[in-house]
Structure 1
Amino acid sequence: MNTIKVECSIHAFPQGKEIDLQKISPQIKVTGGRFFVTSYTVRTLCRFTFQGKKISQSLGTYPHAEFEQNLPLIVEKIHVFHTRMAQGLHPFEEVKNPKDITFAEFALSVYMPNARSRKKSWKDDETRLHLHIIPILGHLKLEDINVGIIRKVLDELNQKHLSPASVNRIRAMLSSLFNLAIDHELVEVNPVTRVKKFRENNQKERYLNANETQRLVAILDQPQDYGIHNAIIVAIVRFLLLTGVRKREAMDLKWSDVDLSTGVWLLGENKSGKARRINLNQAALDILQQLPKSSQFVFANPENNRPYNDIRKTFDKIMHAAGVYNMRIHDLRHNFASLAVNSGQSLYVVQHLLGHASPQTTQRYAHLQAETLKQASEDIAAAIRSQSQQVA
């Protein structure tokens, strides 16, 4: 399939307006393609007149960064629709044996609609499919995909650039997809069940030491001195450091969710799908009280009054300025947990501070608690020695 060069940035087109796909590039000769631009995605579809009736068909919704990558596939689909109409066939109704359905067809027409209806994280599945799986497995018949093929795909993803945890998330998605295919009687077995998970080393959490914390706070206090001028993202990083909440929980925070007088934040639905009550400390409240209220979102991007989509670039700049390396945004959550445990808080308290649905998730910090208890015991022994020496 030939690469189609996009001549004009997607951001140059007005949001929410139906635009002819041919305006994207002069290389697109096929007619009927349309697209809508939103703040974060591009929704594509095609419109035809068939046998005197106007008909339309969705061609998928893609994040801005993936739209250009998927454009050749979109154009190819429209070519196929034109070919069917030329044969007197309805362009969107392909008569075929259900057993001949390809992975891409099932993933996009059956799995994704199902995921959207039941998963908060369906966008993650959509991205994984388009970025990692459909380019490799999309053309294969669903029933022809076996254990060896799945294992090879996951091994290659791990060897190239993805972490074991990321590959395991893809594996879990594929397993759900094939279970759904079994429900639709398109395959008899789930090949993913015989592919072992990759070992994840979840104990390698990154924590800030005292010197790193001191340097980081200094940067956050005077970011402009280090060429960091995005005050909202600086506030997000400071807020994450002080609360241990998940990145997306903070970035999607609305003014209506928090009572500034009591410091109570009612998080309507967290990662586990349950409501959560968060008691903000005064330092975190001070951050919120200094922010403008020009949007319904607390940490709104001033360019569009919407939550930021990605803050990694500014985050990395902050960490570099502070001389803190190998630190991920999520590690601020681990750091908060570490400080809580090392200050003598029980794992039960840490579980509720972090909003873990299960105490098993909090057990990863048990080794920190053991070290804290050991140090406490050593301190007591030292005090006894000191007192005995004074008596002598």
Structure 2
Amino acid sequence: MDMIDIIRTKRDGAALSTAQIDWVIDAYTHDRVGEEQMAALAMAVFLRGMERREIVDWTNAMIDSGSRMGWTLGKGTVDKHSTGGVGDKITLPLGPLVAAHGVAVPQLSGRGLGHTGGTLDKLEAVPGWRADLSTPEMQDILRGPGAFVAAAGADLAPADRKLYALRDVTGTVDSIPLIASSIMSKKIAEGTDALVLDVKVGSGAFMRELADARELARTMVELGEDAGVRSCALLTDMSTPLGRTVGNALEVREAVEVLAGGGPADVVELTLALAREMLTLAGVDADPADALRDGRAMDTWRAMVTAQGGDPDAPLPQARHTRDVLAERDGYVTGLDALEVGTASWRLGAGRSRKEDPVQAGAGIEIHAPLGARVTRGQRLLTLHTDTPERFDRALEVLAPVIGDTPPTPRTLIHGKID
């Protein structure tokens, strides 16, 4: 194979053959293709797209670059994956909620980068909790509490890990074929029986337009079904933050409120909607709301956290400094942009610019007046949290809540389903 010919083929809009794709992914994984050549191919894919057969081949090649996991549990497994957003702490209450119904929920997750938060970063705010689990530990937790959240091992789709880092620095992240194959290669290799996808759409998501989000969802569901993984997707709003908190420990606190039967209405609504889809795919006929009311989900959460070394009773970290953002006039909150809030939280220390950067467990933003709220002049809209107060000014540069005279159109949280 000749990498230059492969780049030219895709650059000129033609489809790559299965053999070409297999060779490229293998050669890149084993350092026989240079970063600059793979960057050129990624940009060609970004600009020219891929046919369905190419996406399937690309996904399979990335799976085959590493090992596949498998579960011997005597019960079915179902996972959920979100394409990422701002204030998206749904994984935290969702895993134990579904596991409380006797379904195993293996969740291999990642860390945040830029304005989107990472589930591992959130959970690492719990004192003692650890993300690195061996396969036997994962098996034991699935047999016991029934759910875990862990970091993916180095041998799970290693081609994707390498390619994702390249895409992040070459402006080729927002490509439907590359996003779909990246997500699904890891989820298929994870060995789950069923998968529910939460595909975000809006300013704080990779997909800002509903048509693009629908195409991404359909592509991923088809990849899952082709691989024998029962799959469906919900299209959900990410134009404004989800819930009332953005930041690691702040979001854990809110997730625990949901498990205790409270929490913001939108977080509860989406948690229950995704839980119903997961239980349906697992063949369980039950109302997940019952497990929030009767405490079973909270019991499972506590057992899950404990099994990963965490202390569910320990106080969560708090930032050393706070600053309030006040309403400048009476009216309604008509604009609270997800990207702005996510970027501000990142600048406060809740996120990272590079994968090796540390994060502040207590940094982030509390939302006192969400989209649509009626406010009066001088009322608190937001509270900013950080350990390093010199970050406040940079965070405030991007925050611009809009106060209007009339309430905005009510938010549509779930835009549709793909199955």
TM norm structure 2: 0.23
TM norm structure 1: 0.24
Larger radius of gyration: 1
Q: Hey, which of these two has a bigger chunk of strand by percent?
A: 2
Higher RCO (C-alpha 8 Å, min separation 6): 2
